[in-house]
Structure 1
Amino acid sequence: MSVSPMTQADVDIDLGRLVKAVWEKRVLVAGLTAAAAGLAFIVTGLLNPLYKSETRLLIETREPVYSSDQNQTNSDTTFDDRAVTSQVEILRSTDLVKQVARTLDLSSREEFDPAANPSAISDILVMLGLKKNPLDVPAEERILKEFYKKLDVYAVPESRVIGIEFSSQDEALAAQVPNALVDAYLAFQSGAKLETNTDASAWLEPEIARLREKVRESESKVAEYRAQTGLLLVNQQDTIAAKQLSDISTELSRVRGERADSEARAQQVRTALQNGQAVDAVSDVLDSPVIQRLRESEGNIRAQLADVSTTLLDAHPRMKGLRAQLADVEQQIVSEIRKVLSSLESNARVARLREEELVAQLNELKAGSAREGEEAVELRSLEREAAAQRELLETYLSRYREAASRTEPKALPADARVISRAVPASEAYFPKTGPIIIVAALSAFLLSSIGVMLGELFSGRALRPSSALVGDPTAAPVMANQAAAVPVAAAFAPSGDQSESHSAALPQISNDADDFSVEAVAEQLITDQTPVAVCVSPEGDEGSAAAVMLTRTVAGDGLKTVLIDLTGSACPTELMAESTRLPGLTDLMCGETSIADSIHPDRLSSAHVIPRGNANARRAMRAIDRLPMIIDALTEAYDLVVVECGAADAASVARIARAERSEIVLSILRSGEAEIATLLAEFNAQGFDDILLMTPGEPVSPLGNRSSAA
């Protein structure tokens, strides 16, 4: 059998060698670092220092103390972020900048117009057409360009404060420019208000004259209409007709009351006379002086009659005379009562006639009032028009008086206030010699060190063979070159002291393939249609990770695959399950969950996993005899059941696996020939004739990966 060629092993970077190389070239690195620091020192010494000053401005609403709005609430809230940003743009406006440039005579400073004195090199480049002649640009535009380079206007976040920064080679000028810019801005704001105020006054003056004429015309129309329609006012509200209607209504109510009273009293007297009742209780009868005198005479006569009746008989002339007088007085009383009744009836008739007359007048006034109502509608319309014109005139007059009082710039403060003026800086902000030298030296040191390291890497002196890396189930681990160099076949060839044990294991070797990789083992299991694969990992979690890779490889080929975690460290559970607290094998063995509830999907493939579980492991081991039945049940639903046992011995595996239906997979990474031969002998003793060797890296033997009975 020919030996398969070995593949090139991976390499690692030797960090120690890289550091050593830098140390060996320390003179070069230090020289470059010192040169960079010296060059930085020279360059910073040649640069002109720049000074920076700042002025701060607070945007707020400002009104004169005599303003009509001084009692209103503060309107600072109207300045939102967009309003403050607008003020920033005004401060950067070309008109303000030009004004400041003219005020400070910046055109006379070479700092703001370096193109005015071009160098010889610049003239040559212009002559050759390689550079545009800077003098073709107007001087004012060149000054503005340099000005904006040195100017920085910004809004302070979460506030209405605006900062104006300016840098210059002259520390005094660096402070003068932002102060002058702020003064120009405040003057611009006040001037804008003054201009607005002047325009308002100029517009209001003719409008007021026009409104006065309109008010006069409107009030004249109201007066003329009142005179024409007779809607003259008696007081501030009532017209003559309305007043008459009110008075007649009042008089009619009074006359009706008198008539009703007279009729009632006359009826009372009439009823008393008709029924022969005494009328002395009637107030009108009692109030009559004649009846009072007659009643008094009647009383005297009756008194005399009673006095003489004691001594005289009824037939006596004296008695007859007194009786005749009494009858005459009574007749007079009745006659006088009738006169009272006649007077009451007469009063009632007069009141009735007066009532009829008042009703007629009232009806006539009502008819006139309806006509006046229609005329009053037009009158009220004219009055509303006159009132509206008068109110508008008063408003215009008030605004005009207010605008006239603000004819001076000081009377109109800008909606901004300086809270911090710029002062000349005591030290330059650029260049910072110390930090620049430090940065230059550090950069030179890093670049030179990196250059030395790259040289070592490209030469190969900083590379060394890599070690086997296991643990990531998504990538195949790599075997060390040294481990893969020893052929497994030597473990089964008799030599030296081990000839006896090796000769016992040698008949079990079968050369089915030359590949021990996970993919080869997966292909072998799929080809043989193996229902159960028991993976044993003598080297612990690294081998268990290979079992996870085997499970995912088989599932990737379209087979339904499940892995049972029998390890003590729960490595497959951590690599495949969403959580290590999911119910699994120990819970199933203890009867705390069902098979369906213990199966969970793999995080990275279509395979399934039965985690280790959360129940007590010792208690679960008491029911280990149930595991073969569980495995048999799973084979009915899955194409392949992978049982990862970890570092288990052959006797333990024999308790859960049936030799006729199971394949034993030894996951070997770094074990030597003796350890592999011992493991094969142990499993052969337990009745497992076919053993699959799996190394998730370089092939370790040219003899294949399946062992079989001789």
Structure 2
Amino acid sequence: MEAPEHRLPSGAAGFASGLVAPPVGSGADKVDVKRLAQTLWRQKWLILGITAVLWLPAVLLINSMTPLYSASTVVVIDPHPNRVINIPSVSEPMGIYQDTVNTEVEILRSRDLARRVVEALNLGQEPEYAATAAKPGPLTPLLEDGRALLIDVVGALPEPLSAMLTPPPRPAAPTGDAAEMESARLIDAFQKNLRISPGVQSRAIRITVEAKDPQLAARAANAVADAYIAIQVEAKRNATQRASEWLQSRLDELRQDMTATGRAAVEAMRSETGMVKGRDAPLVNEEMSALNAQLAEARSAHANAQARLRQLQAVRPGDPESLVGADIGGDPLITGLRQRQAALSAQLAELRAQYGDRHPALTRPAAELRDLNASLATEVDRVVRGLRGEVEQQVARIQDLSRRLEGLRTESFDTLQADVRLRELQRQADASDDNYRRAVTRLKETQVLQALEMTPDVRIVSSSSVPTGPVGPGKTVLAGLAAVVCGAIATGIALVRTMGQRGVYSSHQVEALLGLPAVGIVPLLGRTKRGRNAESARDPYAETGGSDFAEAVWRLCARLRLVRTGAETATAKGGEVIMLTSSVAGEGKTTLAVALSAFLADAGRRVVVVDCDTRRPAVHRLLGNGRPPKGLTDLLGGDATLDQVLHLDERRRVAVIAAGRLVDRPQTLLGSQAMLSLLVELSERYDVIVLDTPPVLSVSDALILAPLADRILYVVRWARTASSLAGAGIRQVRQVGGRVSGAVLSMVNAREHANLEYGARPPGGRSYRLRRIA
């Protein structure tokens, strides 16, 4: 007998040809915000519970926090202080630069300033700065014992491995002066509460101190500003004192230097070289200057005398016009003669014009003019002789002055190098005198500055006052933040819990993860209500209509097209073999197989259930008829006939073939020709043959029977069976040629599944359950 062919017509496996499970990787990297929100909404009670558990201790801790008070003092850099006296300071005032403000901020944050404040306020006596003894934790002894045990164990190992695994030694306790350590601790604690904030685009610096005591906060802020100003004043005073001491030590050196290179050395050099200094220059130079002046004067006088001589030598005594322009040296006699000559010449010219050249009136004036010309010629000759003597004197003087000047020039050339040395000594003497005078002047100025009170380059514009209210911690804000953090932690736990669930929860996951259509969703079969009769309480399958379980089984039958209507005819080749299997045990496949058979029988189909799980048979227990003496293994082994092992449940009108006796190798019987013949014979007698098989991943029985079934329903327990296990079982069934028609989610929590599948609770309204007719 040959194996029966697949009896489902094309496209009639209960699904349309286009109904295919979506690929697993399609859109897998996208975040579905709506589904994420639905997931969080389903876990709302878990999230709220975890949030409450975490938030209540946080609120108690926040309420136990001590309030903090903040006080601020504002100082401003003032680089132009008012001066009482106009004496330049030793340390120049700071400029208005960005790096100047940053430098002052670092000074305010320095440990030296913090130490001054700690000592000024005696912070060691304040309660919040008091030292607390370090107490060992509750786990310290246990950790110490574990460390000692680890060292003992590692010491027994070989040397290279022991060196690698030996824990590092504990750091040594700090050693030193207890007072210094206490001071360092107080400084660190104070600096943690100190805030220095430079102003934006300004020269203001805000000093803020936080403390649990408001009065301490105000005093500390003011103390920081006072210490900062005191540091500036002290720095200026120290600089002035150091400058004064240095100038005092330099005065002796400058005095000795002035003695060695002063005016005495210059005069000694003058005396040694014979370079006597005149009023404004050396004596030789002054004499040369005087001789040059005399020589120039003599040459000028000589030139003037020669010019006068030449003019007088050209005078003609009888010609009055020749005397015009001649320099006669202001002689009064010649001047009078020239005036008389001019008058007589004019008189003769007038008489000639009136009487002619031969008139007797011209004789006397002409004789007087001749006598006058002779006297004028005599006087001119006298003046010429005087000018010649003067010229000769000037020439002699010029020659004498030239000889003397040449001698001085020779003497000046010989003393040129001595003059250079003398000038160098003069410059050194002047520099020494100037340095000494400057040092003495600056020493007196620094002594005056040291006597005066130094003015700092900063000033306080706003002193801190006692704060009226705390600035922190903001308990309301912290409580809200703690609620947000606790909620985030609870949400993360819920998401991790959801991600850690490996089961299948909805038909979407069935199609996406397993690659099979979800042919049915069967709810968990709960306990029967007390109002029902004893038969219903004993048999949960007695009522095939009205309950959620019954509706789910009927829906499964309808999707598999197992319920025949009047318009449909039976197939020509007889009954259809339907195999139910699962990945592991306890997934409800036997319950579903019995329920499916009972409901199909109630619909008028001829149904037989074959219990193929010979190791753990359960069909007879669910039907309540007790275990028959003979079953499937007896039939396949040849110890019984079909009629002997076939039992009819009169109540459900379902034929049952029990598992039979236990055998060592049921795989041999299930894969034999007898099993194939049995299925062929059953298909001739019944419309539906339901095979209840063992789990695929537990034993190989289901894989042997898979090729013989017309369709296979793979049962997956809701929220329990991991998708990896279900996928592995389905792949094995397909590898042996099994025709898996779809997957059935069993033992489903209806309400939770509704949330998972649709994101909301089932809508309210009237129930569609059937009402019983009285």
TM-score (norm 1): 0.52
* 2:217 counterpart of 1:174: yes
Q: Provide the rounded CA distance (Å) in 2 between the counterparts of 1:250 and 1:386.
A: 33
Q: Number of residue pairs matched?
A: 454
Corresponding position of 1:569: none
**Could you tell me which of 108, 114, 121 is aligned with 1:97?**
114
Q: Provide the rounded CA distance (Å) in 1 between the counterparts of 2:337 and 2:481.
A: 143
| Preserved CA contact (<8 Å) 1:279 1:285 | no
Q: 1:232 and 1:466, CA in 2 relative to 1: closer, same or farther beyond 3 A?
A: farther
| Preserved CA contact (<8 Å) 1:84 1:160 | yes
Deviations 1:1-48 (A, max 9, x none): x99xx9873277876565455445544443443444432321112222
Corresponding position of 2:232: 189
Q: Provide the rounded CA distance (Å) in 2 between the counterparts of 1:232 and 1:261.
A: 37
Q: Provide the rounded CA distance (Å) in 2 between the counterparts of 1:159 and 1:146.
A: 30
Corresponding position of 1:52: 70
Q: 1:128 and 1:15, CA in 2 relative to 1: closer, same or farther beyond 3 A?
A: closer
Q: Which runs of 5+ in 1 are unaligned?
A: 308-319, 469-477, 484-710
Secondary structure, counterpart of 1:406 in structure 2: helix
Q: Where do residues 337-352 of structure 1 align in structure 2 (5 Å cutoff)? A: 337-352=380-395
1:446 to partner: Cα distance: 3.6
**Could you tell me which of 269, 275, 290 is aligned with 1:225?**
269
Q: 1:23 and 1:257, CA in 2 relative to 1: closer, same or farther beyond 3 A?
A: closer
Corresponding position of 1:412: 454
Corresponding position of 1:429: 471
Q: Provide the rounded CA distance (Å) in 1 between the counterparts of 2:45 and 2:343.
A: 166
**Could you tell me which of 114, 134, 147 is aligned with 2:131?**
114
| Preserved CA contact (<8 Å) 2:320 2:341 | no
Corresponding position of 1:392: 435
Q: 1:361 and 1:27, CA in 2 relative to 1: closer, same or farther beyond 3 A?
A: same
Q: Provide the rounded CA distance (Å) in 2 between the counterparts of 1:330 and 1:274.
A: 6
What amino acid sits opposite 1:403 in the alignment? T
| Preserved CA contact (<8 Å) 1:62 1:416 | no
Q: Provide the rounded CA distance (Å) in 2 between the counterparts of 1:214 and 1:444.
A: 84
TM-score (norm 2): 0.49
Secondary structure, counterpart of 2:76 in structure 1: strand
Q: Provide the rounded CA distance (Å) in 1 between the counterparts of 2:40 and 2:372.
A: 165
Q: Provide the rounded CA distance (Å) in 2 between the counterparts of 1:197 and 1:234.
A: 46
| Preserved CA contact (<8 Å) 1:51 1:429 | yes
* 2:104 counterpart of 1:87: yes
Q: Provide the rounded CA distance (Å) in 2 between the counterparts of 1:206 and 1:394.
A: 15
Secondary structure, counterpart of 2:72 in structure 1: strand
Q: Where do residues 270-285 of structure 1 align in structure 2 (5 Å cutoff)? A: 270-272=313-315, 282-284=326-328
Secondary structure, counterpart of 2:505 in structure 1: coil
| Preserved CA contact (<8 Å) 1:189 1:414 | yes
Secondary structure, counterpart of 1:47 in structure 2: coil
What amino acid sits opposite 1:95 in the alignment? D
Q: Provide the rounded CA distance (Å) in 1 between the counterparts of 2:461 and 2:285.
A: 69
What amino acid sits opposite 2:328 in the alignment? D
Corresponding position of 1:289: 333
Q: Provide the rounded CA distance (Å) in 1 between the counterparts of 2:370 and 2:36.
A: 167
Q: Where do residues 116-515 of structure 1 align in structure 2 (5 Å cutoff)? A: 116=133, 118-119=134-135, 138-156=181-199, 159-216=202-259, 217-229=261-273, 231-235=275-279, 237-272=280-315, 282-284=326-328, 287=331, 289=333, 336-371=379-414, 373-408=416-451, 411-457=453-499, 458=501, 459-461=503-505, 464=508
Q: Where do residues 503-652 of structure 1 align in structure 2 (5 Å cutoff)? A: none
Corresponding position of 1:640: none
1:418 to partner: Cα distance: 2.9
Q: 1:361 and 1:16, CA in 2 relative to 1: closer, same or farther beyond 3 A?
A: closer
1:326 to partner: Cα distance: 10
Secondary structure, counterpart of 1:284 in structure 2: coil
Deviations 1:639-683 (A, max 9, x none): xxxxxxxxxxxxxxxxxxxxxxxxxxxxxxxxxxxxxxxxxxxxx
Q: Provide the rounded CA distance (Å) in 2 between the counterparts of 1:295 and 1:44.
A: 136
Q: Provide the rounded CA distance (Å) in 2 between the counterparts of 1:326 and 1:168.
A: 133
Deviations 1:34-82 (A, max 9, x none): 44443232111222222233333334535551464789xx97546443x
Q: 1:15 and 1:245, CA in 2 relative to 1: closer, same or farther beyond 3 A?
A: closer
Corresponding position of 1:10: 24
Hey, which of these two has a bigger chunk of helix by percent? 1
Q: Provide the rounded CA distance (Å) in 2 between the counterparts of 1:202 and 1:397.
A: 12
Q: Provide the rounded CA distance (Å) in 2 between the counterparts of 1:371 and 1:355.
A: 25
Secondary structure, counterpart of 2:328 in structure 1: helix
| Preserved CA contact (<8 Å) 1:295 1:333 | no
| Preserved CA contact (<8 Å) 1:113 1:142 | no
Q: Where do residues 649-668 of structure 1 align in structure 2 (5 Å cutoff)? A: none
What amino acid sits opposite 1:58 in the alignment? V
* 2:56 counterpart of 1:38: yes
| Preserved CA contact (<8 Å) 1:233 1:239 | yes
Corresponding position of 2:739: none
Q: Provide the rounded CA distance (Å) in 2 between the counterparts of 1:277 and 1:322.
A: 15
Q: Provide the rounded CA distance (Å) in 2 between the counterparts of 1:270 and 1:16.
A: 140
Corresponding position of 2:710: none
Secondary structure, counterpart of 1:424 in structure 2: coil
Greater Rg by CA: 2
Q: Provide the rounded CA distance (Å) in 2 between the counterparts of 1:450 and 1:283.
A: 132
| Preserved CA contact (<8 Å) 1:115 1:134 | no
Q: Provide the rounded CA distance (Å) in 2 between the counterparts of 1:50 and 1:285.
A: 115
Q: Provide the rounded CA distance (Å) in 2 between the counterparts of 1:447 and 1:291.
A: 138
| Preserved CA contact (<8 Å) 2:69 2:211 | yes
| Preserved CA contact (<8 Å) 1:168 1:174 | yes
Q: 1:420 and 1:279, CA in 2 relative to 1: closer, same or farther beyond 3 A?
A: closer
1:206 to partner: Cα distance: 3.3
Q: 1:158 and 1:125, CA in 2 relative to 1: closer, same or farther beyond 3 A?
A: farther
